[in-house]
């Protein structure tokens, strides 16, 4: 009877535990780790010295991976992110609860985790379309590390895209806040998922640590956004870059 039942179960039901663990893991590593690195690199726009110079240097270091960069990005970031997001939507729309995690917490955070996941999904699609080379075929992908003459335009093109319209910076602010909340609250729930914080007291302690982490990462993200919003695109400060050239080499 039990054998018959297990035969009639689909792949998702049979491996439900493993799939949920992979969902949790993918949110932490690589997606969560990438988010932290990404926001730290962006925050280098705030470092003193020639405006945008440190940001340019940080992005140059990433692009030094050369032909390895694209496969690393696709396999190491986009595929795990797509897996996490698609399964996230499946969890949301099939209303699978994780009441265990929220037994001692609030229902509000349970709802916020799902809401911020959906906001993050929309924001990430918009952001990738607007800046990443993947969006180039669809009229986006306008971040350019160098222009055609080889001049450094990383900070400049980012600032131009953020300053293009008055609504772009607020959209980024909402996207950053939602995504960082999702990660910080997700770290808190994942500590329960992985059996690390079991007692209510330990979970409370982890709650304080995750809140502090979330606030610090939000400040870093919003600080970077403000740096690009205030970047003087008229002064062409980065290696004599032209403000008119956004469609350039990536
Ligand atoms: C930068 C993007 C993202 C990061 C860093 C991230 C990270 C995380 C983490 C760490 C968790 C906790 C896993 C656990 O409780 O064990 C989580 C949970 C969750 N994520 Fe994401 N996530 C991201 C994007 C998304 C997107 C786009 C969706 C799509 C809706 C989504 C939906 C969910 C859902 C529904 C949960 C709760 C799962 C549950 O109840 O067990 N996430 N995420």
Q: Which CATH architecture has domain 14-230?
A: Up-down Bundle (1.20)
User: Nearest residue CA, atom 16 of ligand 1?
Assistant: 190
pTM assigned to the model: 0.90
Confidence at 57, pLDDT banded by 50, 70, 90 = very high
Max CA pair span of the chain: 76
- With 90 as the cut, is the pLDDT of residue 248 above it? no
Closest CA to 38 of 239, 224, 228: 224
User: Nearest residue CA, atom 14 of ligand 1?
Assistant: 190
Ligand 1 atom with the smallest distance to the CA of 101 is 15
Would you tell me how many other CB atoms lie within 10 Å of the CB of residue 19?
Answer: 17
Give pLDDT tens digits for 60-79.
999 999 999 999 999 999 99
Average pLDDT over residues 85-113: 80
- With 80 as the cut, is the pLDDT of residue 18 above it? yes
The answer to whether 143 touches 63, Cβ cutoff 8 Å, is no
Would you tell me how many other CB atoms lie within 10 Å of the CB of residue 151?
Answer: 17
Comparing 235 with 190, which gets the higher pLDDT?
Answer: 190
Ligand 1 atom with the smallest distance to the CA of 23 is 13
Average pLDDT over residues 6-10: 71
Closest CA to 182 of 78, 31, 75: 31
The answer to whether 31 touches 78, Cβ cutoff 8 Å, is no
Confidence at 240, pLDDT banded by 50, 70, 90 = very low
Residue 136's contacts (CB-CB under 8 Å, 6 or more residues apart) are: 250
Residues with CB under 6 A from ligand 1: 24, 27-28, 31-32, 35, 84-85, 88-89, 91-92, 98, 113-114, 117-118, 120-121, 179, 182-183, 186-187, 189-190, 193
Taking the C-alpha atoms of residue 94 and residue 122, their distance in angstroms, rounded to an integer, is 19
- With 50 as the cut, is the pLDDT of residue 169 above it? yes
Average pLDDT over residues 224-229: 98
pLDDT recorded at residue 6: 57
Closest CA to 123 of 85, 174, 78, 183: 174
For residue 88, the CA-to-ligand 1 centroid distance in Å is 6
pLDDT recorded at residue 7: 66
Across 42-46, 94-98, 195-199, least confident range: 94-98
The answer to whether 164 touches 243, Cβ cutoff 8 Å, is no
**Which of 88, 174, 188 most suits a substitution to test ligand 1, by most atoms within 8 Å of the C-beta?**
88
Confidence at 107, pLDDT banded by 50, 70, 90 = confident
Q: Which residue has the tokens 């994942």?
A: 190
- With 80 as the cut, is the pLDDT of residue 106 above it? no
Torsion, CA 44, CA 132, CA 236, CA 225, rounded to 10:
-40
Q: Residue 130 corresponds to which tokens in the numbers above?
A: 């607007």
Phi, psi for residue 238 in degrees, rounded to 5? -90, 105
pLDDT recorded at residue 12: 75
Give pLDDT tens digits for 145-168.
999 999 999 999 999 999 999 999
Phi, psi for residue 22 in degrees, rounded to 5? -70, -35
Average pLDDT over residues 42-46: 98
Taking the C-alpha atoms of residue 105 and residue 220, their distance in angstroms, rounded to an integer, is 27
The answer to whether 220 touches 43, Cβ cutoff 8 Å, is yes
pLDDT recorded at residue 63: 97
């Amino acid at each position: 009877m039990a054998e018959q039942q297990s035969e009639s179960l689909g792949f998702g039901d049979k491996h439900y535990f493993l799939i949920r663990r992979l969902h949790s893991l993918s949110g932490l590593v690589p997606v969560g780790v990438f988010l932290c690195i990404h926001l730290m690199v962006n925050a280098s726009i705030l470092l003193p010295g020639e405006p945008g110079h440190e940001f340019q240097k940080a992005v140059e270091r990433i692009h030094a991976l050369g032909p390895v960069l694209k496969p690393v990005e696709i396999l190491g970031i986009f595929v795990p992110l797509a897996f996490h997001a698609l399964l996230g939507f499946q969890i949301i729309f099939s209303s699978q609860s994780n009441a265990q995690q929220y037994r001692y917490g609030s229902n509000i955070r349970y709802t916020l985790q799902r809401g911020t996941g959906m906001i993050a999904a929309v924001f990430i699609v918009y952001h990738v379309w607007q800046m990443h080379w993947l969006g180039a075929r669809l009229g986006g992908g306008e971040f350019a590390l160098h222009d055609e003459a080889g001049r450094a335009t990383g900070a400049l093109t980012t600032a131009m895209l953020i300053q293009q319209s008055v609504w772009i910076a607020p959209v980024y602010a909402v996207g950053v806040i939602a995504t960082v909340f999702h990660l910080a609250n997700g770290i808190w729930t994942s500590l329960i998922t992985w059996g690390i914080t079991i007692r209510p007291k330990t979970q409370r302690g982890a709650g304080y640590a995750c809140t502090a982490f979330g606030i610090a990462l939000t400040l870093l993200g919003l600080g970077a956004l403000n740096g690009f919003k205030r970047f003087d695109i008229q002064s062409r400060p980065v290696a004599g870059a032209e403000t008119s050239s956004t469609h350039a080499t990536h």
